[in-house]
Amino acid sequence: MIDVLLFAKAPRPGYVKTRLAAAVGSVRAAALYRDLGRRVRDQVVPVSNVTVWYDPPDALSEMQDWLGTEGIRYQAQPSGDLGERLEYAFGRHLAGKGEGGPPTVAIGADAPDIDGNTLIRAADCLTDADVVLGPAADGGYVLIGLVRPHPTVFRDIPWGTGEVLAATRAACEREGLAVATLPTMRDVDTVTDARTMGLLS
């Protein structure tokens, strides 16, 4: 089984998908995010052990009501930027795991292209590579996988820009890490994304 770190925010209007909300309204954007999260959950749970890393810290019961409790663990995200939160989550999850442990993959709740086959391909890549990346169409990534902690791949990255993927690859290259790349996928941040994926008419 693959260990999945599912990063998700409480699906509250005005708190999630603000760029999408600018076009369709905060209530509709939150509802779409809620649907996306359930879809991703349904697609990955059959092949993985899922830990939902959620934000904000007071949202545990809300997250459990949304994504369920069967076969899913929950952990509040720490403070800090996305890189600091990813570094912490991978560090906690991989601590004490020796060689040959299960691959660990972090994904978001807004990337419906990610399914069980995606995770299996990522795990296969990690038999030879140190890092696997699932590029996003906007220049970021929707998936990152490791078998051992490599904290530098999360540091000094321009989060929230179209340079995230390139900067992460550069960080890996500086550390001499072998990188495998999956096909480009799309996450849902804007109304264009949602329409391109057939989520909005």
The per-residue pLDDT for range 140-168, each reduced to its tens digit, is: 999 999 999 999 999 999 999 999 999 99
The answer to whether residue 157 sits within a structural domain is yes
Cα separation, 197 vs 177, in Å, equals 33
Cα separation, 192 vs 126, in Å, equals 33
Mean pLDDT of 16-28: 96
The CATH code of the domain that includes 47 is 3.90.550.10
> Exposure string (b/e) for 22-61, b if CB count within 10 Å is 16 or more?
eebebebbbebbbebbebbbebbbebbebbbbbbeeebee
The answer to whether residue 200 sits within a structural domain is no
Q: What's the pTM?
A: 0.95
The answer to whether residue 28 sits within a structural domain is yes
Domain boundaries, position 118: 2-193
The answer to whether residue 198 sits within a structural domain is no
The per-residue pLDDT for range 175-195, each reduced to its tens digit, is: 999 999 999 999 999 999 999
The answer to whether residue 183 sits within a structural domain is yes
The per-residue pLDDT for range 47-104, each reduced to its tens digit, is: 999 999 999 999 999 999 999 999 899 999 999 999 999 999 999 999 867 666 789 9
Domain count of the chain?
1
The answer to whether residue 201 sits within a structural domain is no
